[in-house]
Amino acid sequence: MESYIQISKLNDFIFCPHSLYLHSIYDNFNAKIYHGDAQIRGKIVHECIDEGYYSTAKKYLSGIEIYSQKYGLAGKIDIYDSELMILIERKNKIKKIYDGYKYQLYAQYFCLLEMGFLVKKMCLHSLKDNKRYWISLPDKNEVRKFEKLIEDIGSFDFHNIVRKNKDKCKNCIYNPLCIY
């Protein structure tokens, strides 16, 4: 059976590869056991999107399933404005544009292209302060970095983890469950 990388997990892997492992293990447990408030709020935002609460306007496609055979990716988009061809990913509150956010958008972008949708622009939308952050479409250099990330995930050895940044562990939602 073909296996796909879930787009939502790119961010976890960039944050810490071991968190990706823990994410998979605890996927079926009650999220409240390990999710912090911010993650719970983010999840509620996405559940609303999945149920189509964002807008009834037909130009907005929300929560549709996407995939890329080329990169072995699967997931869902948040919102696609089919008139203006803008891909939008909403977050509860954006304090910083993390690489993980950017690569999540790139992944959605590549999936949409492969599925025949044109994307002219992409942005992150911070809901709490209603700010939009425009993200450039990936140039050659960014495509290379994105492809390297996909390769790294595909070849990652979970038995060989080196914890690089102890500060991250302090803010990590998996901290109580992590052996590192």
Q: Is 16 a binder of ligand SF4 (CB under 6 A)?
A: yes
Cβ–Cβ under 8 Å, residues 114 and 68:
yes
22: contact with ligand SF4 by CB under 6 A: yes
Q: Are 78 and 86 in contact (CB under 8 A)?
A: no
Interface with ligand SF4 (CB under 6 A), residue from 5, 9, 13, 18: 18
* Residues 137-176 contacting ligand SF4, CB under 6 A: 163, 168-169, 172, 174-175
CA 57, CA 35: separation in Å to the nearest integer? 32
Tell me which of 11, 19, 62, 104 binds ligand SF4, using CB under 6 A: 19
Interface characters, 78-107, with ligand SF4 (x: CB under 6 A): ------------------------------
Give me the amino acid identity at 61.
L
Site membership for ligand SF4, residue 8 (CB under 6 A):
no
* Residue number with CB closer to ligand SF4 (25 or 97): 25
Say how far apart CA 140 and CA 156 lie, in whole Å: 24
Residue 74 binds to ligand SF4 (criterion: CB under 6 A): no
For residues 21 and 50, the answer to whether their CB atoms sit within 8 Å is no
In the complex with ligand SF4, the residue whose CB is nearer, 18 or 90, is 18
| Closest CB 105 distance from ligand SF4, rounded Å | 23
Q: Which of 31, 1, 180, 9 is nearest to 107 (CA)?
A: 9
Residues with Cβ within 8 Å of 42's Cβ and at least 6 positions away in sequence, in order, are 91, 92
Measured CA to CA, the distance from residue 22 to residue 158 in angstroms comes to: 10
Per CB under 6 A, residues contacting ligand SF4 are 16, 18-19, 22, 163, 168-169, 172, 174-175, 178, 180
